[in-house]
Structure 1
Amino acid sequence: MVKNALQAQLLKAGLIDNKQAKKSSKQAQHAKKTGQDTQAALKAEIEKAKQEKLAKDNELNQAKQQLLEEKTLKANIIQMIKQHQITATDGDMTYQFIDENKIKKLYVNQQVYNAVVSGSLAIAKLEQNYAFIPQALAEKIDARMQGYIIGIQKQAEDQSTDEEDPYAAYVIPDDLMW
C-alpha cells in the first residue's frame, strides 16, 4: 500500500499511521494528474515572458519618443529661422561660402555683406535655400542641433603675429575680393 520508502520508514517508526500515508500518496497522485507541479514552473515562465515584453515595449517607446522629440526640435529650428531671417538681401555683391564641401555663391547687398563678414549675421540652411539670421540666434540653433548653421564668423580678437615676420605690419583683410 505504501508507495515510497520514506512513508514505509515513517510507518515503522510510528510517526504516521496508514490513513495519513494513504492520504499523502493520494494527494501526490492528484497533483501529478492535475499538473499542479508544472503550473508553478509555467507561471514563472509566463511572468518572465511578460517582463521581457514589458522591457522591449519600454525600449521601443523610448526610441519613438526620441524620434518625436528630434522631429519637434527640427520643426522648431526651421520655424525660428523663418521668423528671424533677413529678407532684404538681394544685391549685386557676391558672398561665397562652403556648404558640404562645395563652394556656394549668394548675391547680397553691401549692408548684408558687411554684416556677414563682421560676424553679426550668419548663414543658415533653410530646406533647399539659405537664410541670413542674427549671430545670437545662430549660436542658439547650433547649440541645439548641428547642421543648420553654415557660416558663423568668429571675430578675431587676438591676432598673434610673429615678431620676426617682415610682413607683420601688413594685415590681410578677411573680406578681400579677388
Structure 2
Amino acid sequence: MRNPLQEQLLKAGLAKKGKVDQVAREQAKQRQGKPVATEAPEKIDTQRLQAERAERDRALAAERNAQAHAREIAAQVRQIIETHKVKREGEISYRFNDGDKIHSVLVNEVLRAQLAKGTLVIARQGDGYELLPRAAADKLRERDASVIVLDHGHAAEAKPASDDDEFYSQFKVPDDLVW
C-alpha cells in the first residue's frame, strides 16, 4: 500500500519502484511496533541469573563426581584387602606404629620373618589390621597409600642416605628384633 505522494512521484519518474517498495516495508514495520534490537534490563538480569545457576550446577556436579570417585577408590581398597589378606596365626605379638600409637598383631615365626623382610605389609582395614603380600600392597599404594601402615620393603627404597645413616651403618641392628 502506497500513499498518494509515492504514487505521484512514481508517475513523475522522480522515484524508482524498488525504493518506494523498500520505504513502504519500513513504514509497515514501524506501524506494527516491532521493537528495535535493544535488550531490556530484565533480559540481562535473567541471562546473568542463568549463568550463575549454570556455574553453581557445574560446581555441584564436580563435587558429586569427586565424592563418587572417592567412594569408588574406597571400595576398591576394601576389595583388594579382602581378596589378598594373609591368614594370621600364632602367638608372637608383632608391634608397629600407626600414627602416634603402637598397635600389635599376633603372628607366627614365618609371618614375622616375612614382615621383617618386607614381603608382607600391614594395612589398615576399618578398625583392624590385615597382612598383605607385596603385590597387593603395590595395588593399594596406587589407589590410597595412607592405608598401608607398615612396609619395611618400601621404606628402605624410599629413604635417601644421609650423613647420620653412614655413621650408624657400622652398628648393625637385627631386623627380627622384637620390642
The TM-score with structure 1 as length reference comes to 0.69
The corresponding residue for 1:40 is 40
The corresponding residue for 1:69 is 69
Q: 1:39 to 1:172 in 2, by over 3 A?
A: closer
The corresponding residue for 2:110 is 111
Q: Quote the offset at 1:105 in angstroms.
A: 1.2
The corresponding residue for 1:175 is 176
Q: Quote the offset at 1:44 in angstroms.
A: 1.5
- 1:15-26 aligned at under 5 Å gives the runs none
Question: Residues 4-50 of structure 1: CA distance to partner in whole angstroms, max 9, x if unpaired?
Answer: xxxxxxxxxxxxxxxxxxxx9xx7xx89xxx9899622112111110
Q: Which amino acid aligns with 1:143?
A: E
Take 2:36 and 2:43, find their aligned partners in 1: how far apart are those partners?
Answer: 11
Q: Quote the offset at 1:122 in angstroms.
A: 0.4
2:140·2:147 contact (CA, 8 Å) conserved in 1?
Answer: yes
The corresponding residue for 1:86 is 86
**SS in structure 1 of the partner of residue 105 of structure 2:** strand
2:93·2:105 contact (CA, 8 Å) conserved in 1?
Answer: yes
Q: Which amino acid aligns with 2:69?
A: E
**SS in structure 2 of the partner of residue 175 of structure 1:** coil
> Is residue 136 from structure 1 mapped to residue 135 from structure 2 by the alignment?
yes
The TM-score with structure 2 as length reference comes to 0.69
Q: 1:109 to 1:38 in 2, by over 3 A?
A: same
**Count of residue correspondences:** 145
Take 1:107 and 1:98, find their aligned partners in 2: how far apart are those partners?
Answer: 15
Query: Counting helix residues as a fraction of each chain, which structure ranks higher?
Result: 2
**SS in structure 1 of the partner of residue 137 of structure 2:** helix
The gaps in structure 1 that reach 5 residues or longer are 1-23
Identical pairs, percent = 26
Take 2:52 and 2:63, find their aligned partners in 1: how far apart are those partners?
Answer: 17
Take 1:104 and 1:175, find their aligned partners in 2: how far apart are those partners?
Answer: 17
Q: Quote the offset at 1:177 in angstroms.
A: 2.6
2:94·2:178 contact (CA, 8 Å) conserved in 1?
Answer: no
Take 1:122 and 1:79, find their aligned partners in 2: how far apart are those partners?
Answer: 16
RMSD: 3.0
Question: Residues 42-77 of structure 1: CA distance to partner in whole angstroms, max 9, x if unpaired?
Answer: 112111110110011010110011001101110111
**SS in structure 1 of the partner of residue 132 of structure 2:** strand
The gaps in structure 2 that reach 5 residues or longer are 1-26
Q: Quote the offset at 1:171 in angstroms.
A: 2.0
Q: Quote the offset at 1:141 in angstroms.
A: 1.1
**SS in structure 1 of the partner of residue 75 of structure 2:** helix
Take 1:103 and 1:146, find their aligned partners in 2: how far apart are those partners?
Answer: 19
